[in-house]
């Protein structure tokens, strides 16, 4: 009997080690708080972290070192009522880079049209294919986008399943329920992000994310593979340039360069001058407003 309990304990321990996919930290800023009870946001933070971290979002088992780090920052801009808020939502997610202590940011994005309702001790409910609230639909949408980007980084177009789940959430939101879900709400919102990700003209860019991460960054820790890794990242950046020409000023490409700018500069800071100049030529075509940042790549 004792051995049976030991076996069950080890099974539970194994399940916890290969459990949920996300390690999320939620921060809620309330600089303009006037009437709402501050305890509400303490409870909301705990509820959101539990919602993200304890839910099984995929059918896969993630080892602890494989989990995606997700930072969610909610900044309250306006209290519409004591339980209704206008806010900004910052999403930052990163994946570990093979054989290193470095985590590469997959996406860093500011959503300026985040409206939600939340009452104290409210249970956060989400069911695929239906709309429960803008709060859970928005958070679930970004979790699936992050999962899609993560899977894309390990296999060509590997994130299709999860990106389509994000699209399903977009389509399930009733018209007029909240801003940010339709093309009429602007050109930098949830609608356009998922539209770009699933647009066939952007598939070259998404395939490039596999080259950038698995064939590129994940090889840089090995001296013998470093040249191949840098070449793979260059190929991915070329694909991003081509996608930007196919879909000018796309939200996806702008999000990519805003997320990866510093990383690209750091990766190629030790490359030979000829390679650095090629990267400079690529990047000023897709991130021209920051051309000055890339100028250092051209210096001997």
Say if residue 221 is in the same domain as residue 188.
no
pLDDT, the chain, mean: 91
234-289 residue pLDDT tens:
999 999 999 999 999 999 999 999 999 999 999 999 999 999 999 999 999 999 99
Q: Which of 2-11, 56-65, 271-280 has the lowest mean pLDDT?
A: 2-11
Say if residue 236 is in the same domain as residue 97.
no
Q: Assess if residue 4 is contained within a domain.
A: no
Angstrom distance (rounded) from CA 34 to CA 38 = 9
Across the strands, what pairs with 251? none
Number of structural domains in the chain: 2
Question: What are phi and psi for residue 79, nearest 5 degrees?
Answer: -95, 110
Q: Assess if residue 10 is contained within a domain.
A: no
Q: Assess if residue 5 is contained within a domain.
A: no
pTM here? 0.92
Q: Which domain holds residue 109?
A: 17-198
Say if residue 168 is in the same domain as residue 52.
yes
Q: Are 196 and 247 in contact (CB under 8 A)?
A: yes
Q: What is the pLDDT of residue 20?
A: 77
197-237 residue pLDDT tens:
999 999 999 999 999 999 999 999 999 999 999 999 999 99
* DSSP characters over 133-155: -HHHHHHHHHHHHHHHHHHHTTS
Q: What is the pLDDT of residue 120?
A: 86
What tokens were used for 36?
């709402």
Domain end position, chosen among 174, 198, 222:
198
Q: Is the pLDDT of residue 145 over 70?
A: yes
């Amino acid at each position: 009997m004792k051995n049976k309990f030991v076996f069950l304990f080890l099974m539970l321990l194994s399940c916890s080690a290969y459990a949920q996919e996300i390690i999320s930290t939620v921060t809620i800023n309330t600089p303009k708080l006037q009437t709402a009870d501050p305890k509400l946001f303490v409870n909301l933070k705990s509820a959101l972290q539990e919602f993200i971290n304890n839910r099984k979002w995929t059918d896969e088992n993630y080892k602890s070192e494989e989990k995606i780090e997700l930072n969610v920052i909610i900044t309250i801009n306006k209290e519409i009522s004591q339980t209704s808020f206008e806010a900004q939502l910052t999403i930052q997610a990163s994946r570990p880079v093979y054989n290193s202590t470095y985590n590469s940011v997959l996406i860093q994005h500011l959503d300026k049209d985040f409206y939600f309702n939340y009452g104290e001790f409210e249970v956060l409910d989400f069911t695929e294919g239906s709309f429960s609230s803008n709060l859970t639909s928005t958070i679930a949408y970004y979790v699936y986008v992050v999962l899609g980007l993560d899977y894309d980084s390990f296999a060509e177009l590997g994130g299709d399943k999860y990106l389509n789940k994000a699209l399903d959430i977009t389509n399930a939101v009733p018209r007029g329920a909240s801003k940010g879900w339709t093309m009429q709400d602007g050109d930098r919102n949830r609608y356009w992000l998922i539209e770009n990700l699933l647009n066939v003209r952007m598939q070259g860019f998404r395939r490039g994310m596999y080259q950038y991460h698995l064939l590129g960054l994940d090889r840089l820790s090995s001296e013998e593979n470093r040249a191949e890794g840098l070449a793979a990242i260059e190929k991915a950046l070329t694909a991003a340039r081509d996608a930007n020409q196919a879909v000018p000023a796309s939200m996806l490409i702008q999000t990519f360069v805003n997320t990866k700018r510093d990383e690209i500069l750091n990766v190629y800071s030790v490359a030979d001058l000829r390679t650095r100049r090629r990267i400079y030529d690529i990047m000023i075509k897709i991130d021209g407003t920051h051309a000055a940042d890339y100028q250092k790549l051209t210096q001997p």
